[in-house]
Amino acid sequence: MKPFSIQTGAKGFAHGAGRATMTAAIALGVALVTTSLISGCTQESQNQLGRSIQNWTGTNGVLDVLSGEKLYMRFIQIDKLSTALATGGKRDKARPYRFGYGVHDRNFNYKADPGEKKVYFEVSDYSTPYVFYENAGE
C-alpha cells in the first residue's frame, strides 16, 4: 500500500483547489486578525465605541431649551448631538454636557430665516432643562 500524498501544482496548491482555496485562506486570515484586534481592546475603548454609537445622528434635529415651563431658546437643523469626552489622563470619561451645531431659531418657527445662522451650542446634563427631538414636519 502506498503512502497518501497530494500532488501540488506550480503555485503550491493542490490540484483542483485553485483560487477558491486561496481566497478562503485570505478571508480566514483577515477574520483571525480582526478578532484578535477587537478582543485586544480595553474595556474603556469598547465603552467609547458604545458612547459614540449613542450619539444622535440625523438631518433635522431640534433642541428646545426651557426656562421653567417656557421655551427659552431653540436650535434647528441639528445633524449631530454629541456627548463630550474628557481629554487627558489615562481614563477618558463622558463629561456632563452635550454639544452640536444648529441654526438658532430666534422666532421659534422651525425655519432658518435670514439672519438666523448656524452656531455651536452646549447644554448641561445637570442644570439645563432641554428637549431634543427630530422634526418630522419638514
Residue 24 inside a domain? The answer is: yes
- Alpha-carbon distance of 68 to 74, in angstroms, equals 15
Mean pLDDT of 84-93: 67
Provide the number of structural domains found in the chain.
2
* Residue 39: strand, helix, or coil: helix
| b/e map 20-40, b = 16+ CB within 10 Å | eeeeeeeeeeeeeeeeeeeee
Residue 19 CB neighbour total at 10 angstroms: 9
User: What's phi and psi for 53, nearest 5 deg?
Assistant: -70, -30
Asked if pLDDT for residue 137 goes beyond 60, the answer is yes
Band (pLDDT 50/70/90 cuts) for residue 6 is very low
Q: Could you tell me the residue range of the domain that residue 92 belongs to?
A: 55-134
Band (pLDDT 50/70/90 cuts) for residue 12 is very low
Do residue 65 and residue 127 come from a single domain?
yes
Do residue 69 and residue 105 come from a single domain?
yes
Asked if pLDDT for residue 5 goes beyond 60, the answer is no
Do residue 77 and residue 113 come from a single domain?
yes
Mean pLDDT of 41-47: 57
